[in-house]
Structure 1
Amino acid sequence: MPGIAGIVDFRADSIQMDQNIRRMAKILNHTSPSAEEIYILNHAALAAVRIENYPYHNLIAQNEQIALVFWGYLGNHEELGENLDLSPMNREGIPAGDLLLQVYSDAGANGFCDLNGRYVIALWDKKEKSLKLITDRYGFCKLYYWVSSTRILFSSEYKAIIWHKEFPKKIDEQGIADFMALGFSAEDRTFFSHVKLLSPATVATFNTDGDFSVRRYWDYSFHTDDDPVFPEQYYVDKFAEILTIATKRQIDSANQICLPLSGGLDSRTLAGILNKIDYQGKVKTVSYGNPYCYDVVYGKRIAEKIGFDHSYVPIESTYLKDFTERFVWLMEGTVNCLNAHMLLTYPFIEKNNLDIVMTGFLGDTISGSGSFLKGIEGERNDEVIIKIQYDLFADIMKENDLAVYMKQDLYENVRGKTFEAMRSQYYRCPSRSKYFRTRYFNIHERQRRYTSFNLYVFDFVAVATSPFLDRDFVDFILHVPPVLMLDRNLYKKMIIRHLPKVASAPYNKTKLPLNASWIRKGLHWRWESLNRNSLIRATIGRRYAKMNDNYLNSGVAAREGSRQFVIKHIRDNSFLSEYFKMDRVHQLLDEHMSGKKDEYGKVTALLTLSLWHKLFVENEKPTFE
């Protein structure tokens, strides 16, 4: 992955530092074409790796006191230049590293805390012999680290850390348990006990005494009873205005944009905004899945409504066999390999020379996602709410599943701790509102540790953006009164009012246009009723009956095209046998493969762990290279 790497070692000589940082940069540089920048300093070394079409250059900069390395995307580059009193010409041409070095000279590390974007920054103070690591507000650029009393290694990918001959490859049992329950490791955990993920909105410091300290500089702010309340129409219009500005910040007319389109709200909103602002660059939309899934059918209709060129990428039943190992290598096991289909978009992006992938990541989550409110309406007991929410989040294995499948002694060590991680986040939320507390874990943990793969997977081939991450939009939307946000009502009204073209295409949750009349809704209800009749479904409703929301066609993927690949890497796997009761695992596998049960999430989670161990612990060479 493009990103940064670095090492501070108070015992290593300059030759060792040079060898180590070059090895780290080489490991990061597995995307072609790309470029490296490396600085070797006294006791410290910094590196940056970027893809060829990355918008910034000179990611490393230094003066007499400070050396700095940066990677990420800034939405307020121009604003920073204005604040530093740079001329328009200098603002446009100044390298990113030099610009941020001037920010630090003016305001210190605090100057980085209000940047608008997703980024990671490392600062080496030559005089003080201290290192600072800084993450953006939301933590949507990863930075891993391994620290000891005399040394720290950090990198955007932990594969650039674990090669070190002194690195202890001890596996974190709790990280494994988190993953099997939630689909990701919670808090700062990874599968390695000694590799941690730096938290969002953090300034971490490592100095000559070997002390490693962490300071949180920001947290989410939510609507309160003291906030002014405006008419609903104000929020509808403001929603459109701020998101449009955010979209413009992330593009220019020279960009060639890839816009993945589904039948949901987020991607159609971005398509509608690009159309409304009459964007002059190239936009190519793409949908992927089985040909009858809503995302493919409705994604195509949205593109037709606004006249964007549209392509379809099928997800074949062999996608696990063909792409899972590479996906696990790229994501380092942090994401369930059932999402390996995302790599199918790479040839499309490269063939069309697209330099930006604009995603709708985080949109529905912060704009009123209703799925995580299920079951809590009217509930006043916090502990009951937490339990309901945990059961929704633990969508791979519930607590009783962990007890069934994990070895007894290991399960006793991790029992209830994943739930406690969620519980602690609930009470850590800066808002006392139960509505916002139920969403805090989702935003702070699930979106950061799991769903953000929708950004990271594209970082390898293009500039990955999401206007919904814009600082101004996040600040606005989280201060909208909750009553307007339920079931994404405000979001839908914004699309209907400001983006009528895309509002007229069907929405995958209802199969109706967002602006459907009551008459059409009634006719649709009648048609749905008729389609329950087997004769209707077999005749005039045949095509409609084929439509579905299973875009992965998950049952077929594991049972047919990738069957032997899945069985090979799970059945009698020596690593899995250390943590799981293999008789139960074999039963699970057999029941899924026979079609008796649908255990796709559990099967692919086990497959992910198996391949992760093969690649990162056994150091087996990837077969895709």
Structure 2
Amino acid sequence: MFTDITLPSYERYFYNKRTNIYGKSLLEVYNKNPLSKEGLKWFLELGYVPGHLTLFEDIEVISEFHIRKLKGNELKMETPFEIDALVDSSLHEGKSRKQLVTEGGNLFNQVIDTLYSSKEKHVVLPLTSGLDSRMILGGLLACTEAKNLTALTWGFPGSYDYETGIKISKKFGIKHHALNIDNYQITETRLMQFADASDCSVPLFDHWPKDWVKKIVDDLDGSLWMGLLGGTLSGSNLPHSFVDNPLAGFLKSNQRINSVISLSAALLDDRPTIHDLNKLIANFKTGNSDTLDVYLHHHHLIAPTKIHRDLNYVLPFTDQRLIQFFLSLPLEHRTNRGLLRDIIVTQYPYLVKFPSNRNGGVRFGCPWKKTLFN
């Protein structure tokens, strides 16, 4: 369930060409379709199935940033939306770094305040050592009190994300649930449920303790506030080497194992090429690093892994104003997520002293990396 239909949607729809049936999940349309070699090739190479492909022949997924409604057996587009249309290179002409930091920080606070004020559900924030959840927390603390928030963190005790979430919550008096996944049993039932929820498009063992998270969210009648898309907007997908050759960069950065070993080559004697990638993006207006990351990586790995139909979400970074602000920035402000980092330092200085995964994920106690940024 999506909490705001004015935002770009991560909803996915499926179409079985053999039966002419549409559905909101792969299971709804599956009809003993055999495995697709093309889909399997991509899955073994990337760890997910990108584009319109699925793991099954003649079943396609429709998942671009469009708001759609399934009426009977017809899928109707209500509001067409493409990120390319929001990019405006003239938007930030003549603005200094300081001006951009102020403008971006004020805009983010405005987005968070609007979302918080318009929702009746309790805020549940997955809090890690990453920048996106840190920034969302800063925005929330700017518009409400800590007592109105609940945070949760899953992981192994002693690990960076796990301990950082606990430490931040304790400092500000935020109710926090620490979910020790040492105690989370991987059962056949849970694997089958995850396969259904993720539409068989990502590895089963990539899943998270959803049962525990869902119980917390449901008990609070809450919404899960997540930082999806924050990395792409702020430039996490933009090493300099990928800008000039985005297709090769996408294949390299998304490969499941590494550039030496290819499961698809080893098991199928075949692997995806730039030519195959070009076929997947034939209908894209542009094939730059941003569109590849949003429409392929986010929609076909991140969304199936994290965005499930039986949870309620708030996704601040999918606000069209934030998409336009960040994607219209000159490259130097997005490299190494520089501007987003500066916004956090300026807008939420009280959060800067807590460790961040930008420090390489070292544990507490390492004397040489104790600050948020290096």
Give the TM-score taking structure 2 as reference length: 0.83
Structure 1 residue aligned with 2:102 = 237
Q: Deviations over 1:542-593 (max 9, x none)?
A: xxxxxxxxxxxxxxxxxxxxxxxxxxxxxxxxxxxxxxxxxxxxxxxxxxxx
Which of 1 and 2 has higher RCO (CA within 8 Å, sep 6+)? Answer: 2
Asked whether the equivalents of residues 275 and 306 of structure 1 are also in contact (C-alpha less than 8 Å), the reply is no
1:398, CA displacement in angstroms? Answer: 5.3
- SS at 2:27 equivalent: helix
Alpha-carbon contact 2:121-2:223 (below 8 Å) kept: yes
- Matched with 2:248 is 387
| 2:54 equivalent in structure 1 | 190
Alpha-carbon distance in structure 1 between the residues aligned to 2:322 and 2:176: 28
Letter of the structure 1 residue corresponding to residue 340 of structure 2? Y
Supply the AA of the counterpart residue of 2:123: I
Letter in 2 for 1:243: F
2:26 to 155, 158, 171: 158
2:182 partner SS: coil
Instruction: Return the offset for 1:492.
Output: 0.9
1:220 aligns with 2:83: yes
2:307 aligned to which of 456, 459, 463: 456
C-alpha distance in 2 between matches for 1:213 and 1:261: 36
Aligned match for 1:479, one of 306, 324, 328: 328
Matches within 5 A, 1:276-291: 276-279=142-145, 282-291=148-157
Does 1:420 find its partner at 2:283?
Answer: no
Question: Does 2:16 match 1:146?
Answer: yes
| Preserved contact between residue 217 and residue 223 of structure 2 (Cα < 8 Å) | no
Aligned to 1:24: none
CA distance in 2, matches of 1:153, 1:281: 47
- Would you say the 8 A contact 1:285–1:309 is kept in 2? yes
After TM superposition, give the deviation of residue 421 of structure 1 in Å. 4.0
TM-score, normalised with respect to structure 1: 0.51
The 1:247/1:274 distance shift into structure 2, 3 A limit, reads same
1:346 paired residue among 213, 224, 228: 213
Alpha-carbon distance, 1:295 to partner = 0.4
Instruction: Find out whether 1:117 has 2:7 as its counterpart.
Output: yes
Aligned match of 2:4:
74
1:330 aligns with 2:185: no
What is the identity percentage for the equivalent residue pairs of Structure 1 and Structure 2?
15
Q: CA deviation at 1:443?
A: 1.3
Deviations 1:460-507 (A, max 9, x none): 1x3111100111111111111111111011111101111122222111
Matches of 1:453 and 1:497 in 2, distance apart? 34
Q: Indicate if the aligned counterparts of 2:195 and 2:204 stay in contact, CA closer than 8 A.
A: yes
With 282-291 and 167-176 compared, the bigger mean Cα shift is at 167-176
Shift of 1:279: 4.7
Distance change (3 Å), C-alpha of 1:453 and 1:213: closer
Change (3 A) 1:453 1:168: closer
User: How far did 1:424 drift?
Assistant: 5.5
C-alpha displacement of 1:387: 2.8
Find out whether 1:497 has 2:352 as its counterpart: no
Matches of 1:215 and 1:347 in 2, distance apart?
A: 30
1:272 is matched with which residue: 109, 113, 138? 138
What residue ranges of structure 2 are gaps of 5+ in the alignment?
none
Which whole-Å CA distance do the structure 1 matches of 2:66 and 2:265 have between them? 38
- Maintained 8 Å contact 2:102/2:343: yes
Counterpart-to-counterpart distance in 2, 1:230 and 1:350: 41
Preserved CA contact (<8 Å) 2:34 2:56: yes
Counterparts of residues 22-61 of structure 1 (less than 5 Å): none
> Quick one: distance in 1 between partners of 2:338 and 2:67?
37
Give the counterpart letter for 2:83 in structure 1: Y
Q: Do the aligned partners of residues 159 and 487 (structure 1) sit closer, same or farther apart at CA in structure 2, a change above 3 Å counting?
A: same
Contact 1:74 1:117 in 2 (8 A): yes
- Structure 1 portions without partners, runs of 5+: 3-71, 76-115, 120-139, 513-520, 528-625
Task: Measure how far apart 1:399 and its partner are.
Answer: 8.3
Superposed displacement of residue 202, structure 1: 5.7
Q: CA deviation at 1:201?
A: 4.8
CA distance 1:157–1:281, change in 2 (3 Å): farther
2:189 is aligned with 1:314: no
- The residue type paired with residue 498 of structure 1 is Q
1:283 touches 1:308 (CA, 8 Å); kept in 2?
Answer: yes
Is structure 2 residue 275 aligned with structure 1 residue 405? no
Whole-Å separation in 1 of the counterparts to 2:250 and 2:351:
32
Structure 1 residues 441, 279: closer, same or farther in 2, change over 3 A? same
CA shift for structure 1 position 262:
0.2
Return the offset for 1:405: 2.9
TM-superposed deviation, 1:247: 2.0
2: CA distance, partners of 1:344 / 1:168: 29
Equivalent residue in structure 2 for 1:178, among 42, 45, 69: 42
Task: Give 1 or 2 for the bigger CA radius of gyration.
Answer: 1
- Are 1:296 and 2:182 an aligned pair? no
Structure 1 residues 216, 423: closer, same or farther in 2, change over 3 A? farther
Shift of 1:442: 1.1
Shift of the alpha carbon at 1:367? Answer: 1.2
Looking at structure 1, the residues matched to 360 and 69 of structure 2 have their Cα atoms a distance apart, in angstroms, of 52
Deviation at 1:189, TM superposition (A): 0.8
Q: Does 2:105 correspond to 1:256? A: no
Contact kept? 2:8, 2:81, Cα under 8 Å: no
The DSSP-based 3-state class of the residue aligned with 2:186 is helix
1:92 corresponds in structure 2 to none
